[in-house]
Amino acid sequence: MISVEEALKRILVAISPLGLEKVNILDALGRVIGEDVYAGRAIPPKDNSAMDGYALRMGDTRGASADTPAMLEVVEEIPAGAIPEKRIGPGQAARIMTGAPVPEGADAVVRMEDTRKENGQVAILVEAKHGQDIRLAGEDVQPGEKVIFRGEVIRPAEVGMLAAFGRSFVSVHQRPLVAIVATGDELTDIDETPSPWKIVNSNSYSLAALVLDCGAIPLQIGIARDRREDIVAKFRAAIRADLIVSSGGVSVGDYDLVKEVMKEEGNRMQFWRVAMKPGRPLAFGMLGEVPLVGLPGNPVSAMVSFEQFIRPAILKMMGRVNLFRQTVQARLGEDINKKSGIRHFIRARIQRDGDLYTVITTGDQGSGILKSMVRANGLIILPEGVTTVQAGGMVTVQLLDDSLDWTLEPGY
């Protein structure tokens, strides 16, 4: 048996980030940028007004108040986007809108609320300070400044910054194409009429959804029957992908042929019993240049193993440096007993409770009980050495989504 860390390490060494492609900045959302981005221009490009008001010379407002306003001549009106035509001389002001360039000669803006129109002039009711309500050219970004670093995930803020530079395209790591192969004579496809002896191939869909959730592209290869030739054919069809994921056929049954086929077809095939539950059997090898992970067939085992091994591998391919789900500490709501020596991943619901999190299991933990996965938003991780945790004890929870703060109870 090998540890979860060891299995993960062996998979991740075989995985490299994919190459780069240019995509539209909106398509770049959630992708990892493959270039450093330097500012090609100053933002903002010119000094401009932060307020609707009057651009003026600070010295003209000395001693001004509501009772003793400074009276100025209004020489022009500068809407946002306009170019000022006049220089502001002593005793003069320009009506100015937010975002409009500050005219020459002016060194402050006084907001509308601190002014009054009077006899065709403007009365300034306060003393202005130097530079007041003027946004300086380059105060956000200086030309030549490095603003986005290679390897960062593009979020809405980065999209906005790229747009501000007039960049409509950006270099990002490619999205991995992940082939999904289900194996099993008992499987029937989603649209076929299931007979009582058959099981609908749900794994191909849950795994494809997990692939999509990582930001990668699933490639459905379909169902391989438990025959050597069929598994070989499906694996060969999968080889155009960047990563192949299969489910089923990695246990010790007579028809569990995936690992044998992997041994024959590929090289450096490794088969592990990972010290975890669910998801103990795991096969890993290379099919030519393409990494192949054989997941167990039970629906929950396949998903939990995907979370622990495939998700980090896909994120690494996408150029990400943070490969793991967030974990938090939570107070356990019930007693749990387990065997020593293996790590347990227990389907659970975690919820905020004031400043703390509390967590309860979502019922039967059988590796075929997909319902308890449906109800889970996290996995309690119980370490190898632990055999019992009592209600009230603190446990580590791996978050599967961001539904921690449910305030309304779903209908169960």
Q: Which does 298 bind (CB under 5 to 8 A by kind): ligand AMP, Mg ion, none?
A: ligand AMP
DSSP letter for 141, please.
B
Q: Which does 251 bind (CB under 5 to 8 A by kind): Mg ion, ligand AMP, none?
A: ligand AMP
Q: Between vectors from CA 172 to CA 168 and to CA 178, what angle results, nearest 5°?
A: 130
Q: How far is the CB of 338 from ligand AMP (least distance, A)?
A: 22
Binding flag, residue 187, ligand AMP (CB under 6 A):
yes
Q: How far is the CB of 223 from ligand AMP (least distance, A)?
A: 7
Which residues are paired to 397 by β-bridges? 328, 380
Q: How far is the CB of 207 from ligand AMP (least distance, A)?
A: 8
DSSP letter for 195, please.
P
Which one of residues 69, 101, 215, 248 is an interface residue with ligand AMP (CB under 6 A)? 248
Q: Which does 296 bind (CB under 5 to 8 A by kind): ligand AMP, Mg ion, none?
A: ligand AMP
| Alpha-carbon torsion angle 372, 375, 380, 381, nearest 10 | 60
Choice between 279 and 319, CB closer to ligand AMP: 279
Q: How far is CA 190 from CA 51, 69, 194, in A?
A: 60, 79, 8
Residue 361 identity (one-letter amino acid)? T
**Site map 289..328 versus Mg ion, x via CB under 5 A:** --------x-------------------------------
Which one of residues 92, 115, 247, 372 is an interface residue with ligand AMP (CB under 6 A)? 247
Q: Is residue 130 classed exposed, middle or buried when 0-12, 13-18 and 19+ CB atoms within 10 A define those classes? A: exposed
Q: Which of 135, 162, 136, 137 is nearest to 147 (CA)?
A: 162
Nearest-angstrom CA–CA distance, 256 and 344 = 24
Which one of residues 17, 248, 278, 299 is an interface residue with Mg ion (CB under 5 A)? 248
Q: How far is the CB of 178 from ligand AMP (least distance, A)?
A: 15
Residues in Cβ contact with 43 at an 8 Å cutoff, skipping those fewer than 6 apart: 138, 140, 141, 164, 165
Using CB under 6 A as the binding rule, the residues of this chain from 282 to 321 that contact ligand AMP are: 296-299
Binding flag, residue 202, ligand AMP (CB under 6 A):
yes
Nearest-angstrom CA–CA distance, 298 and 369 = 9
Tell me phi and psi for residue 267, to 5 degrees.
-145, 170
Query: Which stretch in 130-138, 198-206, 328-336, 399-407 sits in contact with ligand AMP by CB under 6 A?
Result: 198-206
Binding flag, residue 203, ligand AMP (CB under 6 A):
yes
Query: Which stretch in 129-137, 150-158, 241-249, 387-395 sits in contact with ligand AMP by CB under 6 A?
Result: 241-249
Q: Which residue is nearest to ligand AMP (CB)?
A: 297
Choice between 121 and 202, CB closer to ligand AMP: 202
Binding flag, residue 199, ligand AMP (CB under 6 A):
yes
156-165, Cβ contacts within 8 angstroms, sequence gap of 24 or more: 156/29, 158/28, 158/33, 159/25, 159/26, 159/28, 159/29, 161/37, 162/25, 162/28, 162/37, 163/25, 164/43, 165/37, 165/39, 165/40, 165/41, 165/43
Q: Which does 176 bind (CB under 5 to 8 A by kind): Mg ion, ligand AMP, none?
A: none
Binding flag, residue 362, ligand AMP (CB under 6 A):
no
Provide DSSP, 74-135. Answer: EEEEE-TTPPP-S---TTEEEEE-TTPBPPTT--EEEEGGGEEEETTEEEE-SPPPTTTTEE
Binding flag, residue 53, Mg ion (CB under 5 A):
no
Binding flag, residue 147, ligand AMP (CB under 6 A):
no
Dihedral sign for Cα 94, 98, 100, 101, please.
positive
Query: Which stretch in 27-35, 113-121, 124-132, 242-250 sits in contact with Mg ion by CB under 5 A?
Result: 242-250
Binding flag, residue 218, ligand AMP (CB under 6 A):
no
Binding flag, residue 210, ligand AMP (CB under 6 A):
no
Choice between 249 and 378, CB closer to Mg ion: 249
**Site map 164..183 versus ligand AMP, x via CB under 6 A:** ------------------x-
Q: Between vectors from CA 375 to CA 374 and to CA 380, what angle results, nearest 5°?
A: 105
Nearest-angstrom CA–CA distance, 47 and 137 = 5
Residues that bind Mg ion (CB under 5 A): 184, 248-249, 297
Residues that bind ligand AMP (CB under 6 A): 182, 184, 186-187, 199, 201-204, 247-249, 251, 253, 296-299, 368
